[in-house]
Every structure is written in structure tokens, then in C-alpha cells.
């Protein structure tokens, strides 16, 4: 089967105002794809639109200012897809938030907020847009997961849970859609150099996150589009990420010991 080609396609990208989502939007529009860019920060969406339009790509970026957890935002997305022909070729569920800190000492609201943004919202948006994806003869659902959706670590319990949920959802959806025109790609980055951990939910302002290596957001975006183009089912990015995941698959007890939290 030929590679998925973004030229002339219609895509929805959530979390498009910064980081991976912003880079994906720029790469997709540069390749001739119309992008419905969804984000909470109107000023960032405006600057993204100006950057893309300055490059001569008029009408390729279609911004929607809204919260991905709000059904009204889903209404806007669906309405725009309908107005553009009613067929959707790519859905990128990228919007996400995180937190750092002990689960025991955290609030219930922290867990609910992270699960709402990282899992419930993209799952529901996917359900809403599936009829439009199925109307395309060449569609992809691309879910941005994490290596922490393969191997959990301490002090990120809620984030890990949300990404494990996204991992399982992606696998189940892929099986359900087998035989249709819709493919499902799960991309699992490790730490990304972005604004992600600048704003953490109910976390200590001095909280830090250990990681083995990191990639710039645009490198993750490029690898994501490559995975979509090749119709990959799943990709794990970065050497550090692969080491974490595959070491856990080979010897879980060793990883449990290495990752244990000292008290």
C-alpha cells in the first residue's frame, strides 16, 4: 500500500498552540494539508496562523479556540469538518497535561482532570469524528501516547494511567477498525523539549522530572508524520524510550527495582 500523503487532505490536530501539536500543524500545512488546529490559547493560535499564512499557505490552517474537554468545542470541530466536505483524513489526538508528585498526597481532582484531558476527551472526540474518518478512503487516527504508557514510573501515576488507557484504547480501536479504510497509529515519545511540564496540575512548583534523553518537539512531529505516512501501528521514539520499554518487557522485576522510589 502506498504511503499516506498529506497533500490535499483534511486533518484535525488538538493541542496545536505549542510543542508537538504546533510543529505538526506547520509540517502538515507545508505539505498541502488543511489543518483544523484546536487549542485553548487564542493568542498562540493567532501567531501560528500568522506564521503559516506568511509562508503563503492561505486557508490551510483553520483555527478553533476551545477546550478539548468541552463538548461545544467538539461541536465546532464537527461543524467545520462538515463544511469542508464531510470527510476527514487525519485525526491527531495530541492535547495533554501532566503532574508530578506522590499519588497518596494528591487530590482526587488532579486524577480526574488528567484523565479528562488525556483520555476521555480524545476518546469522545474520536467517537464523534469516526463517521467522517470512515467516509475517507485513506484515513488515520494518530494518538500521541508516551513511553510511560508502556512502563509506569513513580510520581507520575495519573499521567501514566492516562497514557496506559490511551495505549489500550488505540489497540482496541485498531482491531475494531480492521478491514475499514481507517488506520490507527500510536506514537509513544519519551520526554519532549516543550512547554508540557511548565504548567503542571496540582504539582509543586519546584517539581522536576528525570528522563533518559529528550527530543525537540519538531523531531517528534517529524517522526509522528513518518509513522502516519508508513501506516505504522505503533512507534516508540528515542533510544532512552526504547531502552525503558524493552528492558521492562525483558525483565520487569529488574525495572521494578531500578525505578523504585526511595523513602
Active-site residue, selected from the candidate residues 159, 164, 196, 215: 159
| Residue 132 annotated among the catalytic residues of the structure | no
Nearest to 132 by CA among 180, 167, 63: 180
Q: How many CA atoms lie within 13 A of 234 on its CB side?
A: 18
Q: How many CA atoms lie within 13 A of 151 on its CB side?
A: 25
Strands (E), 45-166: 61-65, 90-93, 139-144
Nearest to 258 by CA among 154, 120, 175: 154
What separation in angstroms does the CA of 145 have from each of 69, 76, 112, 186?
17, 25, 18, 6
**Interatomic CA distance for residues 99 and 196, integer angstroms:** 10
For residue 197, with 0-12 CB atoms within 10 Å meaning exposed, 13-18 middle and 19 or more buried, which class applies? middle
Using DSSP's 3-state secondary structure scheme, residue 184 falls into strand
Q: How many CA atoms lie within 13 A of 233 on its CB side?
A: 11
> How open is the CA angle 227-229-234, to the nearest 5 degrees?
25
φ, ψ of residue 207 to 5 degrees: the values are -65, 140
Catalytic residues: 159
Amino acid at each position: 500500500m502506498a504511503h499516506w500523503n498529506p497533500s490535499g487532505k483534511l486533518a484535525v490536530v488538538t493541542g496545536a498552540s505549542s510543542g508537538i501539536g504546533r510543529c505538526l500543524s506547520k509540517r502538515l500545512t507545508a505539505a498541502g494539508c488543511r489543518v483544523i488546529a484546536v487549542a485553548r490559547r487564542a493568542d498562540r493560535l493567532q501567531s501560528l496562523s500568522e506564521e503559516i499564512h506568511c509562508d503563503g499557505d492561505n486557508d490551510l490552517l483553520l483555527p478553533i479556540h476551545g477546550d478539548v474537554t468541552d463538548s461545544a468545542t467538539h461541536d465546532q470541530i464537527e461543524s467545520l469538518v462538515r463544511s469542508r466536505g464531510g470527510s476527514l483524513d487525519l485525526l491527531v489526538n495530541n492535547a495533554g497535561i501532566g503532574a508530578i508528585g506522590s499519588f497518596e498526597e494528591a487530590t482526587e481532582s488532579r486524577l480526574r482532570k488528567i484523565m479528562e484531558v488525556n483520555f476521555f476527551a480524545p476518546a469522545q472526540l474520536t467517537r464523534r469524528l469516526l463517521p467522517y474518518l470512515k467516509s475517507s478512503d485513506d484515513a488515520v487516527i494518530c494518538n500521541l501516547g508516551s513511553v510511560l504508557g508502556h512502563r509506569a514510573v513513580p510520581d507520575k501515576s495519573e499521567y501514566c494511567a492516562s497514557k496506559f488507557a490511551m495505549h489500550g484504547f488505540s489497540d482496541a480501536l485498531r482491531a475494531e477498525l480492521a478491514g475499514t479504510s481507517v488506520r490507527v497509529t500510536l506514537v509513544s515519545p519519551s520526554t519532549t523539549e516543550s512547554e508540557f511540564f511548565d504548567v503542571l496540575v496540582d504539582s509543586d512548583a519546584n517539581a522536576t522530572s528525570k528522563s533518559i534523553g529528550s527530543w525537540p518537539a519538531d523531531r517528534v512531529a517529524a517522526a509522528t508524520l513518518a509513522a502516519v505516512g508508513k501506516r505504522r501501528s505503533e512507534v516508540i521514539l528515542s533510544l532512552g524510550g526504547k531502552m525503558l520499554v524493552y528492558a521492562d518487557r525483558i525483565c520487569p522485576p529488574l525495572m521494578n527495582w531500578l525505578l523504585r522510589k526511595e523513602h
